[in-house]
C-alpha cells in the first residue's frame, strides 16, 4: 500500500499590543469574560475621570472659609457626649436683615441642638426630647419671620424663630414632612398608610374641615409611606414598594391620586433626593431616576458594587449624586475606620459618587457614613458627612485628599478577567507599560498565575517584565499613597493560534 504523506503547517507566533488609553467607568456585574480591561470590575477609593484613574475622595476636618476670609472649623457634639443622628440647615435672616443661618442637629440622645454657621458651638434648644422615632425639620416663612418647624413623630410641633420656641401640641404624629402650596404635608407615624395635610397658609392648624386640614388613606398594597416630597407641582408619596402622585392644589376637594411606579424591592427612605428636575432613589440594590412619570433603572454596573441599602442615604451636591451604602469588600481591606466597630447597626462603609454631567464615578470606602450634610451658606459651599461609629459626634468634609483625617486609605482598581475577545489564541504576556505620575503596585494575572510589580511613577512610562502564559488576563492596580494618577496601560503579548493535528 502506498503511504500517504500530509504536510503540516504549524501556527506562527505573532506580537500583539493591547492598550488602555482611557479608563471607562465601572461595571461590577458578572460574566464579563469578553469585556475590555479598561473598565473596573471592582474598585474602591478611586475616581475615574477624563479617562484617568485618580485617587478617590477623602474626608477631613470640617473647615470652612467665612465671607470675611477667616477660617472656621464646624463644631462637634462631643461636649455633650452624644452622636449626630440628623442634621438640617436652618436658613434665616434676623429681624435686622442680617444673615444668621444655623446648623440644627438631632443628637443620639434625642435632644435638638443648634450652632450658628459663622461662630460658636452647639447648644441645646429648649424643646422637648424627641421620641425614639425622631423629628423632622422644615424651613418656613411664618408670621413675617423665617422659622424652623420641628415636627415630632410622637405628635406635636415646635416653631422656632431663632430666638424662642412656640409649641403646638395638636399636630399629628408625623414622620416625613414637606411644604407644598403653603400646606405642610406629612406621613402619619402611627398609621403608616395615612398622609396628613395642614390648613392652607398655616402649618400649625390641623383641624380637619372641608377646606382646611385633612388626611388621605392609601388602602392598596403599595406599602407604608417612607417619604413625602414636593416635586414638579405635585406631591409624591414614596412608599415601601411604590410611588404615588398627588395633585394637591388650593382646594382639597380637587385632590387626585394616581400610582406611577411599583416594585418588588424596598425603596430606601433616605436615598430619595432631587436634582435638576429628576428624583434619584435606591430600591433594593438598584438606582433609579424618576422624572415624575417614569422611573428608569440606571448605572446597574456601578450599583453592583453595593452589598445592601438597609442604611443607605444620599444627597445631590454640585451636580454630583452621592450614595452611602454597605459596599462589597471582596476581601480587600480599605483601611481608615472600616475595621472599627460601628455603634449604629446596620451601617454603611462608604459611598459612591456619580457626576451627573460627565458620568465620572468615585468610590469611597473606609468610614461609617451615617448621613450627608450640604452646607451652603453665604460664601460657604461644602459637603459634610457625619458618622455611625466612634466618630459619631463629629462632622467631616469631603475633599479630594485620598485619606481619612490623615489616615492613609488603600486604593484598589481591578479589571474583569477577560479573554480579550480571542478564544482561539494562547497568550504570553511579556511586558506591561504603565504611565503613572505616582508609585503604584501592578498585579497581572494570566489564567490565575499572578505577578506583582512596582511602578515607580514618573512623567515617563514604566516597563515591567511579566512572562505569564495562558488564555485570559486581568489587571489590578493598587497603592497606599494619598495621591494616584494613572493615564494609560499597555500589554505586550506574544500570541499563537491553537494547534490540533488531525
Nearest to 408 by CA among 479, 322, 328: 479
What is the Cα–Cα distance from 195 to 174, expressed in whole angstroms? Answer: 9
Cell numbers describing residue 90: 436652618
Is the preceding omega at residue 206 within 30 degrees of 0, hence cis? Answer: no
What is the Cα–Cα distance from 170 to 152, expressed in whole angstroms? Answer: 11
Strands 183-188, 194-197: pairing is antiparallel
What is the end-to-end Cα distance of the chain in Å, rounded? 21
**Which residues sit opposite 322 in a β-bridge?**
315, 353
SS3 per residue for 33-46: CCCCCCCECEEECE
Chain Cα centroid distance, residue 333: 20
Cα dihedral: 235, 238, 244, 248 (round 10): -20
Chain Cα centroid distance, residue 309: 10
Dihedral of alpha carbons 118, 121, 126, 128, sign:
positive
Q: What does the pLDDT profile of the chain (502 residues) look like in tens digits?
A: 566 655 555 667 788 899 999 999 999 987 667 778 999 999 999 999 999 999 999 999 999 999 999 999 999 998 888 899 999 999 999 888 889 999 999 999 999 999 999 999 999 999 989 887 889 999 999 999 999 999 999 999 999 999 999 999 999 999 999 999 999 999 999 999 999 999 999 999 999 998 899 999 998 889 999 999 999 999 999 999 999 999 998 889 899 999 999 999 999 999 999 999 999 999 999 999 999 999 999 999 999 999 999 999 999 999 999 999 999 998 888 888 875 655 556 789 999 999 999 999 999 999 999 999 999 999 999 999 999 988 999 999 999 999 999 998 999 999 999 988 777 788 899 999 999 999 999 999 999 899 999 999 999 999 999 999 999 999 999 999 999 999 999 999 998 887 654 4
- Spell out the residues 6+ positions from residue 6 whose beta carbon is closer than 8 angstroms to its own: none
DSSP state of 78: G
Q: Is 328 helix (H, G, I), strand (E, B) or coil?
A: coil
State residue 502's pLDDT score.
41
> Residue 275 phi/psi, 5° resolution?
-160, 120
Nearest to 326 by CA among 374, 242, 265, 268: 268
SS3 per residue for 421-470: CCCCEEEEEEEEEEEECCCEEEEEEECCEEEEEEECCCCCCEEEEEEEEE
What is the Cα–Cα distance from 295 to 187, expressed in whole angstroms? Answer: 22
The number of beta carbons lying within 10 Å of the beta carbon of residue 307 is 13
183-188 sheet: strands from edge to edge: 174-180, 183-188, 194-197, 214-217
Q: Are 147 and 159 in contact (CB under 8 A)?
A: yes
Q: Are 199 and 183 in contact (CB under 8 A)?
A: yes
- Number of helices and strands in the chain (H, E): 1, 43
The number of beta carbons lying within 10 Å of the beta carbon of residue 89 is 18
Domains, the chain, ranges and CATH?
A: 14-41+415-497 (2.60.120), 67-171 (no CATH), 180-262 (no CATH), 273-410 (2.40.128)
> Residue 302 phi/psi, 5° resolution?
-75, -45
Sequence-ordered alpha helix ranges (H) in 20-97: none
Residue 499, classified by CB atoms within 10 Å of its CB into exposed (0-12), middle (13-18) or buried (19+), is: exposed
Amino acid at each position: 500500500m502506498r503511504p500517504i504523506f500530509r504536510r503540516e503547517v504549524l501556527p506562527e507566533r505573532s506580537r500583539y499590543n493591547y492598550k488602555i488609553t482611557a479608563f471607562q467607568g465601572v461595571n461590577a456585574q458578572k460574566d464579563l469574560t469578553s469585556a475590555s480591561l479598561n473598565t473596573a470590575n471592582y474598585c474602591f477609593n478611586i475616581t475615574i475621570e477624563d479617562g484617568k484613574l485618580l485617587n478617590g475622595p477623602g474626608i477631613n476636618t470640617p473647615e470652612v472659609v467665612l465671607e470675611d476670609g477667616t477660617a472656621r472649623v464646624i463644631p462637634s457634639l462631643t461636649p455633650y457626649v452624644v452622636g449626630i443622628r440628623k442634621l438640617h440647615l436652618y436658613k434665616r435672616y434676623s429681624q435686622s436683615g442680617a444673615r444668621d443661618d444655623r446648623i440644627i442637629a438631632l443628637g443620639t440622645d434625642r435632644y435638638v441642638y443648634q450652632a450658628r454657621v459663622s461662630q460658636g458651638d452647639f447648644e441645646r434648644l429648649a424643646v422637648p426630647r424627641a421620641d425614639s422615632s425622631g423629628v423632622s425639620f422644615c424651613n418656613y416663612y411664618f408670621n413675617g419671620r423665617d422659622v424652623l418647624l420641628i415636627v415630632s413623630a410622637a405628635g406635636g410641633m415646635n416653631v422656632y424663630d431663632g430666638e424662642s420656641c412656640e409649641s403646638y401640641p395638636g399636630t399629628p404624629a408625623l414622620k416625613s414632612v414637606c411644604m407644598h402650596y403653603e400646606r405642610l404635608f406629612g406621613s402619619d407615624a402611627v398609621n403608616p398608610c395615612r398622609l396628613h395635610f395642614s390648613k392652607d397658609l398655616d402649618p400649625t392648624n390641623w383641624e380637619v374641615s372641608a377646606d382646611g386640614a385633612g388626611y388621605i388613606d392609601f388602602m392598596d398594597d403599595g406599602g407604608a409611606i417612607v417619604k413625602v416630597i414636593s416635586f414638579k407641582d405635585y406631591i409624591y408619596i414614596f412608599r415601601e414598594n411604590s410611588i404615588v402622585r398627588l395633585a394637591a392644589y388650593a382646594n382639597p376637594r380637587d385632590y387626585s391620586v394616581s400610582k406611577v411606579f411599583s416594585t418588588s424591592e424596598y425603596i430606601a427612605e433616605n436615598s430619595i433626593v432631587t436634582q435638576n428636575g429628576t428624583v434619584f432613589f435606591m430600591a433594593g440594590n438598584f438606582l433609579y431616576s424618576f422624572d415624575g412619570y417614569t422611573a428608569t433603572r440606571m448605572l446597574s454596573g456601578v450599583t453592583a458594587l453595593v452589598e445592601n441599602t438597609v442604611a443607605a442615604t444620599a444627597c445631590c451636591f454640585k451636580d454630583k449624586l452621592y450614595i452611602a451604602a454597605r459596599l462589597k469588600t471582596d476581601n480587600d481591606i480599605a483601611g481608615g475606620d472600616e475595621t472599627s466597630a460601628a455603634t449604629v447597626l446596620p451601617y454603611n462603609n462608604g459611598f459612591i459618587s456619580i457626576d451627573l454631567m460627565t458620568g465620572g464615578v468615585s468610590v469611597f470606602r473606609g468610614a461609617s457614613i451615617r448621613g450627608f450634610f450640604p452646607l451652603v451658606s453665604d460664601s460657604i459651599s461644602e459637603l459634610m458627612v457625619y458618622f455611625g461609629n466612634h466618630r459619631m459626634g463629629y462632622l467631616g468634609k469631603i475633599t479630594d485628599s485620598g485619606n481619612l483625617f490623615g489616615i492613609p486609605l488603600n486604593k484598589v482598581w481591578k479589571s474583569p478577567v477577560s479573554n480579550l475577545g480571542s478564544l482561539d489564541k494562547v497568550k504570553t504576556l511579556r511586558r506591561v507599560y504603565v504611565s503613572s505620575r505616582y508609585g503604584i503596585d501592578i498585579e497581572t494575572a494570566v489564567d490565575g498565575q499572578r505577578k506583582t510589580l512596582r511602578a515607580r511613577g514618573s512623567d515617563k512610562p514604566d516597563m515591567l517584565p511579566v512572562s505569564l502564559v495562558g488564555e485570559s488576563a486581568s489587571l489590578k492596580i493598587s497603592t497606599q499613597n494619598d495621591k494616584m494618577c494613572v493615564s494609560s496601560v499597555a500589554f505586550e503579548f506574544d500570541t499563537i493560534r491553537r494547534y490540533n493535528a488531525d
